[in-house]
Amino acid sequence: MGKRDQDANRKRDANEERNFFIAVLNNARTVQEKIDKLKELSVGPDYRPFWDYARIVVTTFKETKPLLKVDRERLWLEYEELCQDVKKTMAQRDEMIKENASKIKEELGGLRYNHLTSDSPTFVPITGMPKYHAKEFWEHAKQISRMFKELKLSKDDRNQLWSTFQGLCEEVRSQQNKLLAESSRNRELISSLINDAYWHGTNPGTKEALDEARAMQTENLKRIKESVFTKEDKDALWDQWRQANEKIHWGSVGLRESNFLNARQEARRCQEQAFYGDPHQAIKDVKELHGGLRGQYMDKDQRNETQESISLAWEKAMERIQEKNNEKNVKHNEWQQRQEDHIRRWENNIKKAEGYIENLESQIEKLQDQVDDARTDEFADRLRDWIKEKELKIMDVRGSIHDFEDKIYSVRDRLK
């Protein structure tokens, strides 16, 4: 082998060695970059991405070649130490999470048993449930709520402990709301009933309605005494009940006078209708008013005065109805005479039209004979045109006859 060949071989070997070391350096750099990325994931709150990426790093170790032994051992040691650190951190976190759960569980025990009471007037007893001092309970509950926000917990522990916490809070909230809700319902119901009695007594209209308002107030008084209330609700109902009672009293005082004034006003309205309005409506109004007076409480003089006004309205209405009936009969007779005159005129028009049609038909027959005897076609065509004109006139006249017959039928139907 010549010197030139030896130099070429040495050069080729040197290139291959350089390329090998470049590849080794690049592979080591690639694995290092993966490990560095894994370090970034090791400080995150969720370690699932870390372990997912750790599998990628292991695959990279297996597939990345060539790699110097010293680099592989160094990088693998770095990878193992990183995994051990994460496992240790996860174990510490799990231990801390367990301790946090224990702390909250202990606080929940205190919340359940440290604020019990058996004589608090704030709450209404709930069968099977203990009672609590509300102020102390809710102060403690605020502290526990902050613990849920500040302490790390596993999902299962958080859900279970939060459910227990919410259950305790709901139990106490239910106890607190029981009296308020029951008092509010009772106040709303009885207030509505007192309001009904108030309006019954404001304008009773009849003695029966007034008695009903008083009976309602008696029942309302009984309900106030027997139902459960807060002091505020009970005091408010007492005030409302007394105001309604006073209103019913004045309703009783003004009942007779109110009935008389209303009846007198209605009687005057009947008179106005009888003298100047519709007398038939006046009769209807008088009957209605007369029937309504039977249930009204009024003095004898008031009733007599009202009855006299009603009688006057009745008499005037009957008088005007009779006058209108007479006038209506005269007008009807006049209208009937006019309609009969129309019928006679239309019947006469029909007769004239029928005569006119007979004359046209006679003319058509003569023209038809002339068509048969015509010496020229031109003259025959002219005769046929005349026949068509007369036939059209007959159709028009028959239409007029039909119109007259319809009018006669319609008027005779109305005259029945």
371 and 308 in one domain?
no
Assigned domain for 32 exists: yes
pLDDT of residue 14: 64
Final residue of a structural domain among 290, 319, 348? 319
The gap between the terminal CA atoms of the chain, to the nearest Å, is 150
301 and 215 in one domain?
yes
Q: Is the pLDDT of residue 194 over 70?
A: yes
Average pLDDT over residues 174-181: 77
Q: Is the pLDDT of residue 144 over 80?
A: yes
Which pTM was predicted?
0.36
Q: Domain limits at 44? A: 3-92
Average pLDDT over residues 266-275: 86
Q: Taking CA 312 as the corner, what is the angle to CA 311 and CA 314, rounded to the nearest 5 degrees?
A: 65
In DSSP terms, 116 is beta-bridged to 132
Give the chain's mean pLDDT.
82
d(CA 320, CA 275): 8
105 and 59 in one domain?
no
Assigned domain for 261 exists: yes
354 and 401 in one domain?
yes
76 and 16 in one domain?
yes
d(CA 260, CA 306): 8
pLDDT of residue 238: 92
pLDDT of residue 348: 92
Residues 392-412 pLDDT 10s: 998 998 988 898 888 888 888
209 and 175 in one domain?
no
Assigned domain for 21 exists: yes
346 and 302 in one domain?
no
198 and 148 in one domain?
no
Final residue of a structural domain among 48, 69, 92? 92
Cβ pair 64, 31 in contact under 8 A: yes
- Give the chain's domain count: 4
230 and 191 in one domain?
yes
Assigned domain for 48 exists: yes
311 and 205 in one domain?
yes
211 and 140 in one domain?
no
Length of the chain: 416
218 and 281 in one domain?
yes
Assigned domain for 324 exists: no
Average pLDDT over residues 263-274: 86
d(CA 106, CA 125): 26
Which of 168, 166, 148, 167 lies closest to 158 in space, CA to CA? 148
Final residue of a structural domain among 130, 146, 180? 180
Which of 260, 246, 189, 254 lies closest to 213 in space, CA to CA? 246
